[in-house]
């Protein structure tokens, strides 16, 4: 099977945020969709390695900020390339406000946000799918929502020719130095699997 066939599925990109006690955190996800309108419900899929995942599992609440086409790459670096287990992502982050549920939403590089309360969880191995009832949300701008393809073609910087041999993550640029790429390997930066890697010749 050609694993790159999965990249032909189009989906958006989102900043997922949560709050537990006095701790705020957020991460980038690519799976959020409306599943019913009455009541209004959505599902999100979150990698279990993300600290935000654990916060949502415990608190049952989250916000999803929908990333727009005018977002800059540093938004993805800030929320996607570092972990909340080691960094307070909101300590000095200026582009966020709190919604009525007390959780931050991102105000720059996004066009709207949705607040939701978890009503169900499905274990998908590396990820958990959270089902949630929408409790709030606002439109921030009329800029189009970005897609994963738009991010790859217009937001993510062009890759520079790697100097190392090994395997290149086509999502974030991380290089695994070694051959072969271990079965089931997960990128330590962006959490994508082996299907996202290309061999450096």
As a whole number of angstroms, the distance between CA 95 and CA 110 comes to 10
Q: Token digits for 33?
A: 């969709």
Q: What pLDDT band is residue 198 in, cutting at 50, 70 and 90?
A: confident
Report percent pLDDT > 90 for the chain: 61
Mean pLDDT of the chain: 90
Q: Token digits for 102?
A: 């007390």
Q: For residue 162, what pLDDT is reported?
A: 56
pLDDT of 47 over the 60 cut: yes
Considering only residues 130 and 194, tell me which one the structure prediction assigns the higher pLDDT: 130
Q: For residue 105, what is the enclosing H or E element?
A: strand 104-106
The pLDDT tens digits for 70-85 are: 999 999 988 988 888 8
As a whole number of angstroms, the distance between CA 66 and CA 126 comes to 23
As a whole number of angstroms, the distance between CA 115 and CA 60 comes to 11
* 8 Å CB contact between 113 and 96: no
pTM reported for the whole predicted model? 0.82
* 8 Å CB contact between 43 and 62: no
The helix/strand/coil state of 102 is coil
pLDDT of 161 over the 70 cut: no
Q: For residue 164, what pLDDT is reported?
A: 64
Class of domain 11-151: mainly beta
Residue with tokens 């520079």: 160
Peptide bond into 39 cis (omega under 30): yes
Residue with tokens 């089902």: 131
* 8 Å CB contact between 171 and 151: no
Residue with tokens 């996202």: 196
Average pLDDT score over residue span 156-185: 78
Average pLDDT score over residue span 161-175: 75
Cα–Cα distances (Å) from 142 to 67, 115, 139, 164, 171, in that order, read 12, 19, 8, 42, 27
**CATH architecture entry for 158-201:** Single Sheet (2.20)
The full set of domain ranges for the chain reads 11-151, 158-201
Q: What pLDDT band is residue 98 in, cutting at 50, 70 and 90?
A: very high
């Amino acid at each position: 099977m050609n694993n790159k066939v999965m990249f032909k599925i189009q989906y958006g990109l989102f900043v997922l945020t949560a709050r537990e006690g006095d701790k705020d955190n957020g991460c980038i996800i690519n799976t959020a969709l409306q599943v019913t309108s009455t009541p209004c419900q959505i599902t999100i899929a979150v990698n279990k390695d993300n600290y935000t995942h654990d916060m949502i599992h415990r608190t049952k609440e989250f916000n999803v900020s929908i990333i727009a086409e005018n977002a800059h790459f540093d938004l993805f670096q800030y929320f996607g390339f570092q972990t909340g287990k080691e960094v307070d992502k909101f300590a000095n982050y200026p582009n966020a406000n709190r919604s009525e549920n007390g959780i931050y939403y991102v105000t720059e590089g996004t066009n709207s946000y949705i607040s939701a309360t978890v009503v169900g969880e499905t274990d998908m191995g590396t990820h958990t799918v959270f089902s949630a009832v929408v409790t709030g949300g606002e439109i921030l701008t009329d800029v189009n929502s970005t897609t994963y393809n738009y991010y790859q073609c217009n937001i993510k910087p062009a890759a520079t020719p790697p100097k190392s041999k090994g395997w290149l993550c086509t999502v974030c640029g991380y290089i695994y130095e070694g051959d072969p790429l271990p079965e089931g390997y997960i990128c330590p930066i962006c959490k994508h699997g082996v299907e996202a890697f290309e061999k450096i010749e």
